[in-house]
Amino acid sequence: MAAVAERPRPTKVRRGPHSRREARIGLMFVLPALLVFLAFRFGPAAAGLLLGFTDYTLGAETSFTGLENFRRLLDDPVFWSALKVTVLYTVMAVPVTIGLSLGLALLTRRAFLGSKLFRSVFFLPVVTSLILASTVFIWIFSTDGPWSTVMGWLGLPDQSWLSDSALVLPALALVGVWSRCGYGMLILLARLQEVPRELEEAALMDGAGPVQRFRYIVAPQLKGSFFFLAVIETTASFQVFDAVYMMTGGGPANASYSLVFQLYDAGFKYFDLGYASAIGCVLFVLTLVVAGIQRLVIGKEQ
């Protein structure tokens, strides 16, 4: 007890007037850039939220309408169809993206001849323009394209997937997985390289197989990364637009008409910016709710 009592306590560092003056001067230099960042980062978001409660249309008088735009959403069958398409696309794309990212990360985890080349090749779709890639995928999924040819060899329907209402979403999900799995691989690979090798070696000496080592040692270490990827990939899937715009235009028969595509049409085709802002608000709230659920399910111990 005496030893504990005699332990020196940490002393607080007191800053003099000169240090506080330097801090104020530094803040004055940073403040203009900070204000510009806040204005351009949060200004449009706040404006979009406010416009959702108005009937703002280009070239017309604007008035406050309260919850009228949101009531229109509830009665709009196109909105519910777009919401269904967005959710189905997310359910198809996100689990496959995370699973494939994990497989690629485990495959390239150990250093071997050409491992860096493989990592670069797997990451290449992330930095490839999706607009440019979509034009290639239009040919791939066409009736005479390689995908239909392979499907015919396997005894499956060999028609164009982009012109079939039942197959267009799986085709778009495959494009989304192709363009996003390299990013997930990079995140998981960085975390895998921090897992202590001693833990796996000890488990190996105790007779644990590859599946057991992954389940009880590696997977718990990746829990935070899985949560991060789930949120990021879900948000990206909710905002799918580029591939839909280029490859299908929302068709056939609105089978790929997503929420962001409806937002685009409302705002830039019909210039009903108040209604488009309401769609954006609903999409934002939906993203927050799903992220909260993922936090409870995946990241509750992080």
- CATH of residue 163: 1.10.3720.10
In a domain, 241, yes or no: yes
Task: Name 7's Cβ contacts closer than 8 Å, sequence gap at least 6.
Answer: none
* d(C-alpha 269, C-alpha 266), whole Å: 6
Query: Which pLDDT value is given to residue 16?
Result: 58
In a domain, 11, yes or no: no
Q: Which residue would you say has higher pLDDT here, 286 or 17?
A: 286
- Cα–Cα distance list, 236 to 71, 120, 240, 281 (Å): 27, 22, 6, 16
In a domain, 57, yes or no: no
User: What is the share, in percent, of the chain residues with pLDDT greater than 90?
Assistant: 45
Q: What does the pLDDT look like over 141-169, one tens digit per residue? A: 988 888 888 888 887 777 888 988 989 99
* d(C-alpha 143, C-alpha 229), whole Å: 34
Domain that holds residue 148: 68-297
Q: 57: which strand partners?
A: 272
Q: Which residue would you say has higher pLDDT here, 205 or 278?
A: 278
Q: Which residue would you say has higher pLDDT here, 205 or 240?
A: 240
Q: Which residue would you say has higher pLDDT here, 181 or 26?
A: 181
In a domain, 48, yes or no: no
In a domain, 105, yes or no: yes
Helix 223-238 with 77-107: angle, nearest 10 deg:
140
Number of domains comprising the chain: 1
Query: Which pLDDT value is given to residue 299?
Result: 62
pLDDT at 5 > cutoff 80? no
Is residue 186 classed as helix, strand or coil in its secondary structure? helix
pLDDT at 101 > cutoff 90? yes
pLDDT at 231 > cutoff 50? yes
pLDDT at 302 > cutoff 80? no
In a domain, 124, yes or no: yes
| Residue (of 279, 256, 254) closest to 266 by Cα position | 279
Band of residue 300 on the pLDDT scale cut at 50, 70, 90: low
Q: 64: which strand partners?
A: 54
Q: Which residue would you say has higher pLDDT here, 141 or 5?
A: 141
Q: What does the pLDDT look like over 46-95, one tens digit per residue? A: 888 898 898 888 777 888 888 999 999 999 999 999 999 999 999 999 99
Q: Which residue would you say has higher pLDDT here, 138 or 155?
A: 138
In a domain, 43, yes or no: no
pLDDT at 286 > cutoff 60? yes
Query: Which pLDDT value is given to residue 7?
Result: 52
Q: Phi first, then psi: what are they for 217, rounded to 5°?
A: -120, -55
Q: Give me 21's structure tokens.
A: 């003056």
In a domain, 139, yes or no: yes
